[in-house]
Amino acid sequence: MSQALESDDVVGVITQLIEARYGMTPDELRAAVTAAPGADPGATTVLRWYGHLTDAQEALTRAEDALVAELGSTPGELDDPAMALAHQVNAAVAVREGRAMVVRYLLDGNAPGNRAAWSARTNGLAPAVRTTPVARPAATAVPVRGAVR
């Protein structure tokens, strides 16, 4: 597997989730949202965070490339510049993973607290929660001591 494919796996998985959820690629979804901005606020939010994710992936790729270049130029023990670049790579991975988690959360209609899921249920787009009381068997009268009849 190539290095570019390995580093893009997270973005690739999220892209597939977007395609499965909306039935179109992120570029097609972006065009649809641009054409009708208010039609699906959830899609707008997903696209915003997807953009943050792809930006984070690009920053990670740049940090990895800089680290590889530094490691190739100074064989032996890691010096301070190489360690600083390694920390940048770790930070970039954390940012990318955090943004990927946000997009996955936004795409999960069953996620606890997900307003998109709540909105879909209240707008009739998803099965409603039962609001009528459950029928219970009639209670039998139990005599109470000292009760006046």
- Listing DSSP states for 107-147 in one string gives H-TTSTT-HHHHHHHHTTSSPPPP-SPPP-PPPPP---TT-
pLDDT digits (tens, 9 = 90+) for 107-146: 997 888 776 554 544 444 444 444 455 566 666 665 656 6
- pLDDT, residue 129, reads 46
Neighbours of 115 (CB within 10 A): 12
Q: Which of 93-97, 120-124, 145-149 has the lowest mean pLDDT?
A: 120-124
Band the pLDDT of 74: cuts 50, 70, 90.
confident
Return the closest-CA partner of residue 61 out of 117, 7, 116.
Answer: 7
Q: Rounded to two decimals, what is the model's pTM?
A: 0.69
Tokens representing residue 39 in the block: 């039609």
pLDDT tens figures, 52-66: 999 999 999 999 999
Per-residue pLDDT, 114: 73
